[in-house]
Amino acid sequence: MPLQDYPSWELKPRHLHGEELENPVKVIHDFYSYCHLPEIRRKLWELLKTAVTGDYSRALSGKERSDLVYFYEQLEKLIEGTHVIHLQHKEQDSQESL
């Protein structure tokens, strides 16, 4: 879908606020403080496997399901934080080319 087909509100972070918008690198640091890389890989695999098999409610305990939801929320914020960084770098690159 071309960028112009999205409503303007959809192109902005929805879960970042305050300090996270001013300093999106904080979101990255928070994410990696929550999980180390091997654990991130394991959780991503569990998320995918659970979604694909459809066995979500029977295969995992309540705590495991809660952890996956929290992981998803953190991953969504991480994506938005890196999106802000991307836009900042894109703007900086265009100003440098002038």
List per-block mean pLDDT (blocks of 10 residues) for the chain, which spans 98 residues.
87 92 91 87 84 69 82 90 87 82
pLDDT value of position 59:
73
Q: Model-level pTM?
A: 0.65
User: 């690198």: which residue's tokens?
Assistant: 25
C-alpha 79/C-alpha 2 separation (Å) is 19
31 neighbors 78 (Cβ within 8 angstroms): yes
pLDDT value of position 52:
67
pLDDT value of position 64:
82
